[in-house]
Amino acid sequence: MHRFVPALLLGVTFALPASAAEEITFTKHIAPILWKNCASCHRPGEVGPFNLLTYKDAAKRADFLAQITSERRMPPWKAEPGHGDFEDVRRLSDAEIKLLAQWAESGAKEGKASDLPPAPKFTEGWQLGQPDLILKMAEPFEVRADGRDVYRCFVLPTGLTEDRTVAAVEFRPGNRRVVHHALYFLDNTGAARKKDEADPGPGYSSFGGIGIVPTGSLGGWAPGATARRLPEGTGRMLRKGSDVVLQIHYHPSGKVEKDQSTLGIYFTRKPAQRLVMGVPLVNRRLAIPAGEKRHEVKATFTLPVDVQALGITPHMHLLGREMKVTATLPNGKQESLIWIKDWDFNWQDQYRYRKPVALPKGTKLEMVAYYDNSADNSKNPNHPPKLVRWGEQTTDEMALCGLQVITAKRADMLELYKELLKTQGRLGSLLSGFGTPSDK
Amino acid sequence: MVRLRSLCVFLLLSGPLCARDPLAKVGDFSLPDAQGKKHTPKEWKGSKAIVLIFLGTECPVSNGYAPTLTRLAERYGPRGVLVLGVHPDPDVTAEVARKHAKEYRLSFPTLLDPTQTLARQTGVRIMPEVAVLNPAGEMLYRGRIDDRYALDGKRRDEPRTHDLEDALTAILAGRQPSPRATRAFGCPLPRPIQN
């Protein structure tokens, strides 16, 4: 009782989400928060290391939950609110975080069974139903018990004899204890196959990218991401004869593990009229001086045609600390497309807008990225720090943000492709994901 | 008890290290290991140092240290260091601990401490965290194994400091470890279920 006195003396009033007299309980307050935000990963067979479904699951970790949510380390979500309206936002409100703290503080009580909302329902297996094409790693890959993270690329031939358009891709990790995230690139040049042949064991190792310039992309997966179909009539180009290059980031778990992951590909019902293209904002001339705490790198691109942005994918390596992408529309209006204030290579996500963002012709896209190349950066791979330039290795950096867009007309797509080729060279056009026509 | 813990959580969050008695001493206890064998401080006699490693079977940070811990036990065991794992989780039964030790190839005994008596006596709050004692139960070092994880959870590819190993080297050379305490990153100890 006397615990409340100091607050009264200070005359402080708190805006409590629950009335001050009401006891915070699992069944009434906590279960809905955990089930909505945590249980999709923290349930049996999923990527979370423990379950967060029952009272017992939560009560023994009440202090942990209060701490990790207040630091916003969990749920993992790096995009700042108010900078892009995204799908699958895994971000707790301040009120929810406060409830978790109050619950831990007040003894993590269970509460009345009648307060418990209906249990969440989860679909087992493929979330989007049976895929049209299933690509599975040819053999299991062994992940060592200890040491550095592993970045491995697996070449999965599609065997397609005609061009197809893809509506969705669903990734099923083979071993959720070690699979941290996955990216799916395309290659129809055979370059990835050569790298695979040159490297003993399944696949080949490559950190920042896939070691070759991809001819397209089908997206990616991070824990908590939900597979979704693109809007009707929209697809990603998958050229005939292409290989999917599946890059998986593995975390050693403390014991030797095996993984054999699977991709499910869903084609559009009819060939898509609108193709998703990547507009890369990229600065390959970056040179980050040793010891520099906040080194700025910029890149811009002016849209030659009207586009609608469907998603955005920031990419930096270990020195990257912050990235912001702003669109300045022809009428002068500015729109923030994304702001990652606390970049973490381990939680790079493919952010998808809830509604496509209209960006008219003449819109100037600007990326600003900041890098910490000081010894204070615990992720700095160089000890002592040294000058860092563009490259694919852990010790190199990148300043790259891909914007996934669609155009209203097919002719506009070519226009955009030509502009990327002109301003950013072969890399820009290849990163566009428009793909090199295989019959060129 | 609950209030003190919460206060500490608050202090940890607000920055400064929550004050813990650096000279905590482990008194008497009797705990079974995963194989059912009883352990008491009497068996410490004759060892140069005792390492208690607090483990979390469901904590990825703790599990990730398994190969490091086994290496350390194999290296320092023959030099008179007794390494003991501790499970401060009421849900970890002998069977769970046996399965976990086999899966992660732990080469040292793991004690079942469902009431967290060793955690209380050592002041350990994190899994994994270590307490290094002399045979009289006096604390020589408490904290992290190495600095692979920063306190914000960011993981380095390679640790730059090897705090536990440095402490053991100092003790075996007859010196006092320095520092005597560090902050560990990992999963906070679970709460014992009340009802």
Give tens-digit pLDDT for B1-51. Answer: 333 343 344 333 333 334 455 557 898 999 999 999 999 999 999 999 999
> Which residue is listed with tokens 């994880």?
B149
DSSP 8-state assignment for residue A233: T
**Structure tokens of A306?**
């009207």
In tens, the pLDDT along A391-437 reads: 878 789 999 999 999 998 888 988 998 898 888 876 666 666 554 43
Flag if B188 and A252 touch (Cβ within 8 Å): no
Flag if B158 and A67 touch (Cβ within 8 Å): no
pLDDT over 50 (residue A11): no
DSSP one-letter string for A300-350: EEE-SS-EEEEEEEEE--SSEEEEEEEEE-TTS-EEEEEEESS--GGG---
In tens, the pLDDT along A73-127 reads: 899 899 999 999 999 888 999 999 999 999 999 999 999 999 999 999 888 889 9
The domain defined by A276-431 folds into: Jelly Rolls (2.60.120)
Flag if A394 and B154 touch (Cβ within 8 Å): no
Domain ranges of chain A: 22-115, 133-267, 276-431
Burial B123-150 (b: 16+ CB within 10 A, else e): bbbbbbbbbbbebebebbbbbbbbbbbe
Tell me if domain A133-267 and domain A276-431 are identical in fold: yes
Give residue A156's region: left, alpha or beta (phi > 0; psi -120 to 50). Answer: beta
Q: How many CB pairs under 8 A join A and B?
A: 85
Cα distance between residue A420 and residue A411, in whole Å: 15
Confidence of residue B92 (pLDDT cuts 50, 70, 90): very high
Contact status of A71 with chain B (Cβ, < 8 Å): yes
pLDDT: which is higher, A21 or A301: A301
> Which residue is listed with tokens 């989400």?
A17
Flag if A254 and B59 touch (Cβ within 8 Å): no
Cα distance from N-terminal residue to C-terminal residue, chain B: 16
SS3 content of chain A, % helix, strand, coil (to 5): 20, 30, 50
Q: Which residues of B touch A255 (CB under 8 A)?
A: 63, 66-67, 103-105
Query: Domain B33-187 - what CATH class?
Result: alpha beta
The whole-angstrom distance between A290's CA and the closest CA on chain B is: 18
Residue to mutate among B191, B193, B194, B195, with most A CBs inside 10 A, is B191
Domain ranges of chain B: 33-187
Query: Domain A133-267 - what CATH class?
Result: mainly beta
